[in-house]
A = this chain, B = another copy of it.
Amino acid sequence: VCIGIDPVVERLPEILRRDNRTDSPGGALDAICEFTEILLDAVADVVPAVKFQAACFERYREDGVEAMYALIGEATERGLIVVLDAKRGDIGHTCAAYARAIFDHLGADAVTLNPYLGREALAPFLERADRGCFILCRTSNPGAGEFQDLLVAGRPLYQIVAGRVGTWNERGNCGLVVGATFPAELAQVRRLCPDLPMLIPGVGAQGGDLELAVRAGVNAAGQGILVNVSRGVLYASAGPDFAEAAARVARDLSLAIDRAREPGGVEAV
């Protein structure tokens, strides 16, 4: 399980929005930071990884970016693997600047990348054997198929992307992003790429079924997937027990994944 850190102030527990403190952008960001810190504390022993959504912090200008730096540092100190969900993709020295910002300054262990510009453009990321690159393959949004399902020589584009990323993986640092909302496509990608790690968003609020996604996504050893859950964990309770509730839901998800990846496990759930 990977917990998606993409808090929006309107969804925070009441206790963090007391006394109208979130009416100003500064107060809202403070509440988001307090929420995230408590949450990181609560889940650090339960899950191996968290995925920060850059946009949710960038919308609070330079203060939001500063907060994201601090929170990623705290997550790392707690032993969590940090994925930055930035979906970057640019060219030449721009991509090199993003790679420096994300891997060296921000200290993320892995990043999500957009494949549209090709391997050559993403090289500054792919060359970093010490960091992970999850390339968007089949995204979890309802309209993902507009381009990703277009047939290229009889196969949908997302499968072509999956195949190419397999060849990009010279340093063993590549993975794919495949949404849980499309379990059949997930299974296809796993057949094409038996060994690539997969980051799987879309379980829960977006409608993806956990057991189906796990069964479709695991490799032959029953491993190789990082299932991202965000809202279902972040907002597990609107009360003052939100942190314990989040940890409990995360633990339940881990157990459900363990059951689902056992042979015949899905039927047993």
Contact = CB atoms under 8 A, between A and B. Distances in A.
A24 B94 CA distance: 20
Contacts of A140: 91
A92 B55 CA distance: 11
A114 to B, nearest CB: 5
A118 interface: yes
Interface stretch (A41-49, A95-103, A188-196): A95-103
A59 B100 contact: yes
A58 B97 contact: yes
A111 to B, nearest CB: 13
Interface string A171-194: 000000000000000000000000
Which of A85, A90, A93, A140 is the most central at the interface, judged by chain B CB atoms within 10 Å of its CB?
A90
Interface string A48-61: 00000101101101
Number of copies: 2
A254 B10 CA distance: 48
A89 B89 CA distance: 9
A269 interface: no
Interface string A90-129: 1111110110110001100000001111111100000000
Contact of A143 (B6, B117, B141): B117
Contact of A116 (B98, B116, B153): B116
A148 B119 CA distance: 12
Interface stretch (A12-20, A62-70, A219-227, A257-265): A62-70
Contacts of A118: 141, 143-148
A161 interface: yes
A157 B146 contact: no
A21 interface: no
Given A94-B6, A97-B59, A136 B150 contact: no
